[in-house]
Amino acid sequence: MAVKSPSERVRELLIPSAGEAAATAKQPLIAVAYTAAPALVTFCAVIGAYRLGRAAWVVADAFNRHVLRKPHDLYERYAIAGKDSWVVVTGGSDGIGLELCHDMARRGFNVCMIARNAQKMEEKLAEVSAECPDVKTKAVAFDFSKLTHFSDYEEIIGESLKGLDIAMLFCNAGYIRTGPFIGLKPYEIESSVTINALHPFYTTKVLIDQMANRAKRSAMVVTASGLAHLAVPGCTDYSATKSMASFLAEGLNYELQGRVDCMAWHNGKTATKMNGLVADGKVIDAEVAVAGMLRDLGYESLTYGHKAHAKSMFMVTNVFPVWKLKEVFYNGFKKEFEESGGDSTATARKLAEKGRQAKITTTYGWLNDSMVSTSSRPDPLTGK
């Protein structure tokens, strides 16, 4: 029996018998389908091949990133021999930023933290020095929610770091308050904008000449978030401001190629005081998260970091429809908000309590860390 071509089979499906086929002369729609069948088959085959090719590329790329490719030796790539090279980490006094400070000191870089609480930075830097006695350390006290003009950045950050050889900059400080936009307090929206969006732009701008005009290439990483990937209802301000920060790194990676490696980090759930979570596989420790991100530095303009987070982002970008993601996120954040009495500050307190349980052995209580404020504007956590 002769083997039928795909288009013949499609024709048969559309028009099961020759008798019916004859009748199609009087049925223009079927006649068109009959004529178009070969083109339809070719079209579907091309689309299918494209989708398959894309899927194969995603798998091959993931295999390369997570298994084959060796991370750069960051000291060799960015430090200048014989010169004191510095790494600057905003939000370096806790969580992911603190882990970055320890990691960079172990590699031989001097470390500069920028955060709000000067005393806390001193204590954390003492821990860094205890582990790596040869590195120099520096703290710059700066509250990104209160100092919001470029001139503030110039006067405090620019002046404090003048003349230093800045090899790497991590714009990492961040802020989240979830809940329906209409229920968020104005200062919470303001904190999202100033901390998540303005701070990476202004810090980078104030240091970029120093970094782009060194004798060696430098690096800049923005800790954005997986939530920057789409407009996420229930934390619209967070996803929007993180997306703005992410674009900064991606755009500059092109503008400054060869001089500054810039990368956006769409990080996933990490066990820190920000969310009070405990590492459980999907939620990972700061140390694991940082290693996952650094692996891609110098190769990519955007990373999801560790494979646990890359897997979740694969589902977000390739599997779930956007409308479903929006529904799930919004319902989750709204429920959390409502359970806390429609008060986003109370949600924060609830998270803080979880954080206290998770971090009960640390020197600091989460509330103490987060309540340090330097002006009369309400504290984002307490609302007072």
Q: Which stretch binds ligand NAP (CB under 6 A): 71-79, 94-102, 209-217, 314-322?
A: 94-102
If binding is defined by CB under 6 A, does position 173 make contact with ligand NAP?
A: yes
At closest approach, how far in Å is the CB of 35 from ligand NAP? 54
If binding is defined by CB under 6 A, does position 270 make contact with ligand NAP?
A: yes
Give DSSP secondary structure letters for 104-117.
HHHHT-EEEEEES-
Nearer to ligand NAP, 178 or 270 (CB): 270
- Of 120, 238, 273, 359, the catalytic one is 238
Instruction: Classify residue 95 as left (phi > 0), alpha (psi -120 to 50) or beta.
Output: left
At closest approach, how far in Å is the CB of 286 from ligand NAP? 6
- The token pair at 160 is 């404090």
Residues touching ligand NAP: how many (CB under 6 A)?
A: 31
Alpha carbon dihedral 49, 55, 60, 66, in 10-degree steps, equals 180
Q: Which residues sit opposite 265 in a β-bridge?
A: 223, 303
Nearer to ligand NAP, 111 or 115 (CB): 115
At closest approach, how far in Å is the CB of 127 from ligand NAP? 13
Eight-state DSSP code of residue 157: I
Q: In Å, how far are 93, 141, 202 from 283, measured between CA atoms?
A: 21, 30, 31
Radius of gyration of the chain (CA): 26
With 0-12 / 13-18 / 19 or more C-beta atoms within 10 angstroms meaning exposed / middle / buried, residue 182 is exposed
> Which of 274, 293, 310, 381 is close enough to bind ligand NAP by CB under 6 A?
274
- Provide the pairing of β-strand 165-171 with 302-303: unpaired
Nearer to ligand NAP, 214 or 359 (CB): 359
Active site annotation includes 242: yes
Dist. CA 115–CA 106, nearest whole Å: 21
At closest approach, how far in Å is the CB of 98 from ligand NAP? 7
The per-residue b/e assignment along 250-273, b for 16 or more CB within 10 angstroms, e otherwise, is bebbeebeebbbbbbbbbbbbbbb
Dist. CA 247–CA 295, nearest whole Å: 20
> Which of 85, 93, 236, 253 is close enough to bind ligand NAP by CB under 6 A?
93
If binding is defined by CB under 6 A, does position 237 make contact with ligand NAP?
A: no
At closest approach, how far in Å is the CB of 271 from ligand NAP? 7
Q: Which stretch binds ligand NAP (CB under 6 A): 80-88, 171-179, 210-218, 291-299?
A: 171-179
* Residues within window 2-61 making contact with ligand NAP, judged by CB under 6 A: none
If binding is defined by CB under 6 A, does position 300 make contact with ligand NAP?
A: no
Q: Which residues sit opposite 284 in a β-bridge?
A: 270
Active site annotation includes 238: yes
Binding-site string for ligand NAP from residue 138 to residue 167, where x marks contact by CB under 6 A and - marks none: ----xxxx----------------------
Dist. CA 349–CA 347, nearest whole Å: 5
Instruction: Specify the residue for token string 């090279």.
Output: 85
Closest CA to 238 of 248, 226, 249: 226
If binding is defined by CB under 6 A, does position 175 make contact with ligand NAP?
A: yes
> Which of 65, 78, 102, 117 is close enough to bind ligand NAP by CB under 6 A?
117
The residues assigned a catalytic role are 238, 242
Residues that bind ligand NAP in the complex, under the rule CB under 6 A = 91-97, 115-117, 120, 142-145, 172-176, 195, 223, 225, 267, 269-270, 272-275, 369
